[in-house]
A and B are shown apart, each in its own frame.
Chain A
Amino acid sequence: MTEASIGADRGVALRLANVRRTFKELVVIDDLTLDVAAGEFLAILGPSGCGKSTLLRVIARLNLPDHGTLDVVPSNTKFQTAYVFQEAHLLPWLTVLENAALPLELTGVSQPERLKRASRVLAEVGLSEAESRYPSQLSGGMRMRVSLARALVTEPRLLLLDEPLAALDEITRFRLDVRLRDLWIERGMTVVFVTHSITEAAFLANRAVVLTRRGCRIKLDRSLALPTVRDNELRVSAAFADEMKRLLGAMEEEG
């Protein structure tokens, strides 16, 4: 199995052409063209406030572009997109199991079926024993895993992540990085995540795009020369350091 073929059958391809998005007078995204292949794990890197979250919202169709087009191929399936926010954003009155099943509830899946599927996906993120607990009884890392399970429960073809692990401590984050990467290999889907963490981008992604501070222009677009299966060993390898250096160089470049 080669990198490029992972999830190509189940993921979707994205094509953003000349996308422009403004908020009042401010041009947040200025003429962005970006192709994402089916099954790709793409990291979008940029400084805080550069508009990368807006870009992700445009991809999710939560915000519409003022100009330009966004094509998703194939576009025939409904509810193929899942979105993970910076924080877990769980419903405090629902149990972990019900929270994970929520997207299925909203899309009209019967209760036994949705609970069965939610239970399966919770096992995948290692939360089987926490099914009947409430969000208030979980640690930050566990909440984030519920949030991830909730996103995965619909078996999305496109998973969008907005700095999902930024608020967690480093050890928890490392562990979830590995889990997320494994899930991508197991499930096969297109993943786009935005982050300001170079380490996270280098560790998780196959391809990284570095954006400018203003206007979301692409400064660097690079396929990372790193192995498919990744563990914490990789973090101290020379190849990883080399990729970090390139990304850091692009981040620090003026513009």
Chain B
Amino acid sequence: MNIRKAIPAAIPFVVVTLSLEWLVRAGWIKAFLVPPPSAVFQTMWRDWPELFAALAKTSTGAILGFVLSAIAGIAFAIFLSSSRAIQEAFYPYAVFFQTVPIIAIAPLLVIWFGYGMRTVVAAAFIVSIFPVIANTLDGILSTDPALRDLFRLYGASPATTLWKLRVPAALPQILTGLRIAGGLAVIGAIVGEFIGGQGLGSVIDIARTQQRTDKVFAAVLLASVLGLVLFGLINILSRLVLRNWHVSEQN
């Protein structure tokens, strides 16, 4: 993304920040409900060492969870694609990851994995794996029938067809799945941290009990930035991988 493209996206941020500042200072919004943005930035400046350490923890947890769900999700989708019977038998259990209320099972994760990083990674993993599975499977199953015929005509084995046609042809959908998973992994990590007791999730939880909305906002802002950065990195990866596919990806 170049500077020119960043300007339109920056305008709403500046407008909302400035109006919020004005609304709070004018007394329209109570400062203990929504702190003025200036106070949030001040807190971020003052508590930076603590916030940065928390951000590093959260990033590690989210990225580990994301990488695990990328690997396991793609592998599981390939497994599911091998036959209709396997899909019917196992796909409902993949949907389970989508529907499970992570807040409700987070305490269980602590019992299984203990306080700390492993619980956080598990929560990020559980929340982010489903879009990877669903999109990868969709991509693999929607391979161009003409190309499948072509591979058949030249006697390609199912394994060859999978690795040389179906998986590469599914790359756009796989990357879409990863893009969604990236954002979800950050959410999962924060939820895991509420219970698992570390990182930004923990900072938010403690600041909340102390009525420090400014600190809550500072941590939430950093979590959002983390999500954005992850999203941006996956976009860059996507562009690199698909650079030859579409004319639009070339410029």
Contacts and interface: CB of A to CB of B under 8 A. Distances in A.
Interface residues of B, number: 22
A67 B197 CA distance: 70
B247 A137 contact: yes
Interface string A72-98: 000000110111010101011100000
B155 A92 contact: no
B171 interface: yes
A103 B154 contact: yes
A134 interface: yes
B152 A62 contact: yes
Interface in B218-251: 244-247, 250
A92 B165 CA distance: 11
B16 interface: no
Contacts of A134: 244-245
A79 B247 contact: no
A107 interface: yes
Nearest to A89: B146
B150 interface: yes
A102 B146 CA distance: 14
Contacts of B149: 57, 60, 62, 83
Contacts of B158: none
Instruction: Determine the main DSSP class of A at the interface with B.
Output: loop
B7 to A, nearest CB: 29
Contacts of A93: 168, 171, 244-245
B89 interface: no
Contact of A89 (B150, B152, B164): B150
A83 B244 contact: no
A1 interface: no
Contact-size category for A: 20 to 34
Interface string A130-163: 0000101100000000000000001000000000
Contact of A85 (B146, B156, B244, B247): B146
B147 interface: yes
A106 B247 CA distance: 28
B165 A91 contact: yes
B144 interface: yes
B176 to A, nearest CB: 16
B154 A79 contact: yes
Contact of B147 (A78, A81, A89): A89
B38 interface: no
Interface string B157-193: 0001000110011010000000000000000000000
Nearest to A133: B244
A97 to B, nearest CB: 13
Given A92-B246, A103-B150, 13 more contacts: A57-B149, A62-B149, A79-B155, A83-B149, A83-B150, A87-B146, A89-B146, A89-B147, A103-B154, A106-B151, A136-B244, A137-B247, A154-B154
Closest 10 CB pairs of A and B: A134-B244, A106-B154, A92-B245, A89-B146, A106-B156, A85-B146, A103-B154, A136-B247, A62-B149, A93-B168
23 contacts: A57-B149, A60-B149, A62-B152, A79-B155, A81-B153, A83-B150, A83-B153, A85-B146, A87-B146, A89-B144, A89-B150, A91-B168, A92-B244, A92-B245, A93-B244, A93-B245, A103-B150, A103-B154, A105-B164, A106-B160, A134-B244, A134-B245, A136-B245
